[in-house]
């Protein structure tokens, strides 16, 4: 087995540090806190961004989406709700948002039939709940957010923005690390 040189170890550590600097894990303590985090994320989004949300039922995917919509200036009269029964909702704020819910879709082909590719390439922002059901279709630029229960009202939220261009990751890291 070949031993790693000092230079190789430095390269590996550099890549690991870069990857850590392109993701953040946070804990929210209430639905309002999750909405507040979503508001901060919404302020960071630009047209063409795709948010891929993953988490069990009740982990706060729709709460986070409500906050994202608020951060993008969606007026309160546009009630953000789970898209489970409608599959796709559109909200108009500073930038239009497509809220897509893949929960009831049986396969990635259903996702394509929904017009997914047109939606994410429309110059709008796409927020996809249950994104793992269409993981193979997500663009490399997608921002992956996983939510998990850690207590009745607490959630661990991991945000991976590795797919963003380097010039945007600094702002994401700075904004989300302040929370």
Residue-wise pLDDT for 103-146, tens only, equals 877 777 887 887 777 777 778 999 999 999 888 888 999 999 99
Q: Is 8 part of any domain?
A: no
In a domain, 175, yes or no: no
- pLDDT at residue 1 in the model: 46
Residue 85 has pLDDT above 60, yes or no: yes
**Cα–Cα distance, 67 to 69 (Å, whole number):** 5
Give the CATH number, domain containing residue 73: 3.40.50.300
Domain count within the chain: 1
Indicate whether 6 pLDDT > 80.
no
| CA pair distance 142, 145, nearest whole angstrom | 9
Per-residue pLDDT for 87 more than 50? yes
Question: Burial code of 118-150, b = ≥16 C-beta within 10 A, e = fewer?
Answer: ebbeeebbbbbbbbebbeebbeeebbbbbbeee
Q: Is residue 54 a part of any domain in this protein?
A: yes
| Within-domain flag for 3 | no
Distance CA(68)–CA(74), nearest Å, equals: 9
Percent of the chain at pLDDT > 90 equals: 55
User: Is 107 a member of any domain?
Assistant: yes
pLDDT at 9 over 50: no
Structure tokens at 146: 């996983």
Residue 80 lies in a domain: yes
Q: State which residues form the domain around 52.
A: 30-170
Residue 81: what pLDDT? 75
pLDDT higher than 70, residue 101? yes
In a domain, 24, yes or no: no
Question: What does pTM read for this prediction?
Answer: 0.84
The answer to whether position 128 is within a domain reads yes
């Amino acid at each position: 087995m070949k031993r790693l040189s000092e230079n190789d170890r430095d390269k590996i550590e550099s890549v690991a540090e870069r990857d850590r600097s392109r993701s953040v894990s946070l804990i929210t303590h209430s639905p309002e806190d999750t909405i507040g985090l979503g508001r901060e994320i919404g302020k960071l989004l630009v047209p063409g961004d795709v948010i891929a949300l993953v988490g069990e039922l009740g982990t706060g995917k729709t709460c986070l989406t409500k906050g994202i919509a608020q951060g993008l200036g969606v007026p309160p009269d546009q009630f953000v709700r789970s898209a489970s029964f409608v599959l796709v909702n559109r909200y108009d704020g500073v930038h239009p948002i497509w809220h897509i819910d893949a929960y009831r879709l049986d396969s990635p082909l259903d996702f394509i039939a929904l017009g997914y590719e047109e939606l994410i390439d429309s110059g709008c922002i796409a927020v996809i709940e249950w994104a793992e059901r269409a993981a193979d279709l997500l663009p490399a630029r997608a921002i992956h957010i996983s939510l998990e229960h850690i207590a009745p009202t607490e959630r661990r939220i991991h945000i991976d923005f590795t797919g963003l261009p380097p010039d945007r990751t600094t702002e994401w890291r700075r904004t989300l690390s302040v929370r």
